[in-house]
Amino acid sequence: MSGIIEIKNISKEFKVLNRREGLKGSIRDLFSRDYKIVKAVDNISMSIPQGEIVGYLGPNGAGKSTTIKMMTGVLEPTSGEILVNGNIPYKDRTKNAQEIGVVFGQRSQLWWALPLIESFRLLKDIYQIPDDNYNSMISLYKSLVDIEDLLHKPVRQMSLGQRTLSDILAAFLHNPKIVFLDEPTIGLDVSMKSKIRTLIHALNKEKNTTVILTTHDMGDVDALCQRIVIIDKGKMLYDNDIEHLKGFFGSYRTLKVRPAGDIGKQAEELEKELKNLSVSITADDEWISILVNEEKSKVMEVLGTIQKTHDIRDMKLEEISTEEVIKKIYEEGVE
Amino acid sequence: MKRKNLRFYFRIYRKILAQDLKSKMSYRADFIISTIGMICTNIAGFISFWILFRSFPEVNGWSYHEILFLYGFSLVSLTPVQCFFDNNWSLRMYVYSGDFIKYCFRPINLFFYYQSEVFDVKGLGQFAFGIGTIIYSWSKIGLPLTFLMVIKMIIFLITASLIMIAVMNAAAATCFWITNSFYVMDLALKFKDYARYPITIFSPVFRFIFTFVMPIAFIAYYPSLVILRPDEIPLLSWLSPLFGCLFFWLSYKFWMYGAMKYSGTGS
């Protein structure tokens, strides 16, 4: 079965001026024709079926936004083919736009001065949404989130969280086949994040909307995505189930310890003490997390080493988290 | 999906306009202050005019009231660009910040969608000023008031507006390449001041530039010849509606070309 999004071997190249240093260099740049070609996206293929939520991940500058711009028809690929809902996005930009919704994390697409409900009414006209569909969508929204207060508030007076929520609702309003969410939870507090995840999940279930989600928050991925696609430096690193990915790192365990005293300082000490056990250490407010590869050194051995010099108040052992998996892939790639 | 014809766009525009006016009311102080500013600018324009013509009773065969007519004509023809295309002034900000991309995701014409976002009410004051000036000078010159004259007047006012819109579109669109188009737009706006004078007072070089390169002579001079000098209308006057449409179309194409090129490389 062919997917709603079919991408075959697309690449996107940008011409970038080679900048020279200093004032002299800048002046010479004015007349320079010295360009280099940068491949933002390099030979990527994927097929996404209707109704799937795909986590599209990669470090900053990996080419995520460029791919999304190509799928939405804003950018034309240098080579390769894209079909979105049967359209070539770049050639049929407006036709394609009718069937997609887009949310860019911090850039509201709503009318700044208008109350949300007025924005919705304008969108209803722009997308030519029939009355029945519009009304049932609004009542669906009302059943999912508490928007009564929001509806009559101008967008400019909203908090970032409310605005993001509104933007997501606006993107789903015309019941598009695909919605692109670019870092929808960026800068939001924990409760708002979870509210937005629940909303996206519910809308996907209710309307069978395909969702392409880019994010740096692995909480989003854990809550929403079955499948993840990872790219870095324009190349595809991984495209499969998230569980399958964790299988690659089956021998990894996360040992979490809570020592007595200052966590940050002790984490630094541990870093030195555990050097020859090839572990990686991160610390947050409560826990020092030690990622152990059991093929190289045993968890018990690590714990024993720590206990010799530190007073441990509490500890727990966990499977590798999505966050750590992704971090390892960014750093080392998939073998 | 239904086809998107002119009626569709007209309806959308009306709705956006109504919403925009509603929201403008919420910025009352801004509205009042800018209206006062507009009136002051126009009064200052008048006074400098009046002072000038106290020393020179006529310019190159043009009487005080005829020049006043030109002035009023240019004020009215500048109204549409002020009212409907004011968002051009913000274009550079959207382009610089990368926010421009948000306009690319809607299933309607990009240019239309962008311009529809802002309606500048201040232009209406200028419109009233301009109409007043035209009526005053019309009666002073003693022009006949016939149906045909009024029709001609309307056609040529639309022509002149189209030209001014075209100039500002093109000036604004330069920001897709040079990021900060403010100086280009400001320059274009300064040039429009010359539109108030009969083009014959300039040297042939400038006459050529103002006709074909920077077509500001079409804003008031060529169109108003049809009204003021019915015996010696040059071909360019009759052609000016054509030029109006042509320049507008070209500027639209230029704007869209820039927009597509920009979203190709931006942010």
Rounded to two decimals, the ipTM of the complex is 0.77
Q: What is the pLDDT of residue B1?
A: 46
A122–B263 CB contact, under 8 Å:
no
User: A251-319 architecture in CATH?
Assistant: 2-Layer Sandwich (3.30)
H helical segments located in B108-181: 110-116, 122-141, 147-173, 175-178
Query: Of the given ranges (A8-12, A187-191, B189-193), which has the lowest mean pLDDT?
Result: B189-193
Q: What is the pLDDT of residue B35?
A: 75
Average pLDDT over residues A189-198: 91
Q: What is the pTM of this model?
A: 0.80
Q: What is the pLDDT of residue B264?
A: 61
Three-class HEC string of chain A:
CCCCEEEEEEEEEEEEECCCCHHHHHHHHHCCCCEEEEEEEEEEEEEECCCCEEEEECCCCCCHHHHHHHHHCCCCCCEEEEEECCECCCCCHHHHHHCEEEEECCECCCCCCCEHHHHHHHHHHHCCCCHHHHHHHHHHHHHHCCCHHHHCCEHHHCCHHHHHHHHHHHHHCCCCCEEEEECCCCCCCHHHHHHHHHHHHHHHHHHCCEEEEECCCHHHHHHHCCEEEEEECCEEEEEEEHHHHHHHCCCEEEEEEEECCCHHHHHHHHHHHCHHHCEEEEECCCCEEEEEECCCCCHHHHHHHHHHHCCEEEEEEEECCHHHHHHHHHHHCCC
Chain A residue numbers with beta carbons less than 8 Å from the beta carbon of B2 are: 128
pLDDT for A145 beyond 80: yes
Average pLDDT over residues A156-183: 92
A128–B106 CB contact, under 8 Å:
no
Q: Does A125 touch chain B (CB under 8 A)?
A: yes
Chain A residue numbers with beta carbons less than 8 Å from the beta carbon of B119 are: none
Q: Which residue of A has its CA nearest to B105?
A: A97
Q: What is the pLDDT of residue B248?
A: 93
Structure-model confidence comparison of residues A176 and B267, the more confident one: A176
In chain A, where are the structural domains located? 5-245, 251-319
Q: What is the pLDDT of residue B267?
A: 44
Q: Average model confidence (pLDDT) for chain A?
A: 85
User: A5-245 architecture in CATH?
Assistant: 3-Layer(aba) Sandwich (3.40)
Chain B residue numbers with beta carbons less than 8 Å from the beta carbon of A109 are: 102, 105
Cβ-based contacts under 8 A for chains A and B: 69
Q: Does A78 touch chain B (CB under 8 A)?
A: no
pLDDT for A313 beyond 90: no
pLDDT for A204 beyond 80: yes
pLDDT for A171 beyond 90: yes
Chain B residue numbers with beta carbons less than 8 Å from the beta carbon of A107 are: 98-99, 101-102
B12–A107 CB contact, under 8 Å:
no
Residue from B105, B116, B120 whose CB has the most chain A CBs within 10 Å, to mutate: B105
Q: What is the pLDDT of residue A334?
A: 59
Q: What is the pLDDT along chain B (267 residues), one digit of tens a residue?
A: 456 788 888 888 888 888 777 777 767 787 788 778 878 887 887 788 788 777 777 777 788 888 888 888 888 888 898 889 988 988 988 888 888 888 888 888 899 999 988 888 778 888 888 899 899 988 888 888 888 888 888 988 998 899 889 988 999 998 888 877 788 888 888 877 777 778 878 888 888 888 777 777 877 888 888 888 877 777 878 888 888 899 899 999 999 999 888 766 544
In this structure, the number of other CB atoms found within 10 A of the CB of residue B89 comes to 18
Average pLDDT over residues A11-35: 75
Average pLDDT over residues A79-98: 89
Rounded to the nearest angstrom, the minimum Cα separation between A144 and chain B is 25
A126–B108 CB contact, under 8 Å:
yes
